[in-house]
Amino acid sequence: RKEVEQDPGPFNVPEGATVAFNCTYSNSASQSFFWYRQDCRKEPKLLMSVYSSGNEDGRFTAQLNRASQYISLLIRDSKLSDSATYLCAVTRNSGNTPLVFGKGTRLSVIA
């Protein structure tokens, strides 16, 4: 079983829709969790970290469920500019251990 698994997508949604992505992780020692965004032919960039209590940044909400070992990303009021691939990543601590990424979920927001 891969350490981090994501819905592969693609998700094709109309503008204004709400879309949710899930990501499961297998290593219970994982301590830090993230969502990265990757535009076509570009490098990944941090979208948001995921905190135990959940966190929100504008239209984006991230949640962590340690008991079930998954993280989620909710995008409300989707914009065309949200079209990208969303990668979840986990690491065992915030020190030097590498980030382990999921395969990514592709989102296309359609006018």
Partner 1 sequence: NAGVTQTPKFQVLKTGQSMTLQCAQDMNHNSMYWYRQDPGMGLRLIYYSASEGTTDKGEVPNGYNVSRLNKREFSLRLESAAPSQTSVYFCASRRPDSTEAFFGQGTRLTVV
Helix (H, G, I), strand (E, B) or coil at 80: helix
Sites for partner 1 among residues 56-85 (CB under 8 A): none
77's tokens: 């009021």
Residue whose CB is less far from partner 1, 21 or 101: 101
Omega before 98 within 30 of 0, i.e. cis: no
- Candidates 109, 103, 93; CA nearest to 38 is 103
Please identify which residue in 13, 17, 74, 100 interacts with partner 1, judged by CB under 8 A. 100
Q: Which is nearer to partner 1, 42 or 79 (CB)?
A: 42
Stretch that binds partner 1, among 11-19, 39-47, 61-69, 72-80 (CB under 8 A): 39-47
Number of residues that bind partner 1 (CB under 8 A): 23
22 binds partner 1 (CB under 8 A): no
Buried b or exposed e, range 50-74, using 16+ CB within 10 angstroms: beeeeeeeeebbbbbeeeeebbbbe
Binding site for partner 1 (CB under 8 A): 8, 32, 34, 42-46, 49, 87, 89, 91, 94-104
